[in-house]
Structure 1
Amino acid sequence: MSPAPHTQLLVGGRIYSASAPDATAMAVTDGTIVWVGQDRPGRALHPDAEIVDLHGAFVAPGFVDTHVHTTSHGLALTGLDLTDAVDREDALRRVRAHADAHDDAVIWGHGWDETRWPDPTPPTTADLDAAAPARLVYLGRIDAHSAAASSALRAAAEPLDELDGFDPQQP
């Protein structure tokens, strides 16, 4: 027979929660946050919980990033790896060499990280157009949350200029 679940109710604190911005209490059952809200409802909902008084302390629940960029991972296995590019020019040299050596329909580069470069300027559309003229080029950043694209690729995906955040040069 498994042991009964153990719940702690943390009260009297300042709990960070996007869903309950005025939270002062948090219930934790066997190490998992199960409820966030105000002290009084917490006590009513969890009458048998062990009470832990926070005395006004701030609590930020642990953050777990469970999303996966499956497509980006697959492309990383076959595309142009830029994770160890030492600067923008190095990344662009690699794009140029790849374009010269391959006739891929799309040049998929991945992994550049301008925050590690001496000049943290990311590659622009003009940079990609110069490195691989008239080619479809997509360079995904290390976090897969932004990318640089060539003019040819942008034209193939029009009408981009109608989208929020569109910039004709920047990732």
Structure 2
Amino acid sequence: MNLQPPQDDAPASGLVLDAYLPYRLSTASNAVSRLIARAYDDRFGLTVPEWRVMCVLAEDGAAAQAGVVARTVMDKVTVSRAAQGLVRRRLARRSDHEADGRSHLLTLTAEGRRLHGEIAPLALAYEAALIAGLAPDEVALLKRLLGRLQAAATGLAGEAGLQ
């Protein structure tokens, strides 16, 4: 696939920012993340990456940092900082990874599980408020389409050697 822009001197045309899907996805994601981040920070002192790591650990149990990176599609540094913050607050613990001596396993502590249980209903309430104007079939379609867009972006990144 050729992703190179035209090489002539003609001005770029046809790009209307508000109609450009990557821009719309980014701004929508940023707006939702800001809303949620304020709630998590104000009420619980958590960053969005810390909350995402907590969710992975709550769903999956013990996880290596590389697994959290793959699951959340956050970069290694962001996951590492989030994990350190959770460990510092005693919401998660690090233990040796018996199968891989270079890695550690993260697990939620009892306090981390309690806090996750307190925040999860709030997260679901925010989701419900965000999708309140959509019909259930629209929500299902949106989730399917987002999955397809994510898969396409992952595939394009692989083709371009950006993974």
TM range (shorter): under 0.3
Per residue, is there more strand in 1 or in 2? 1
Per residue, is there more helix in 1 or in 2? 2
TM-score (normalised: structure 1): 0.24
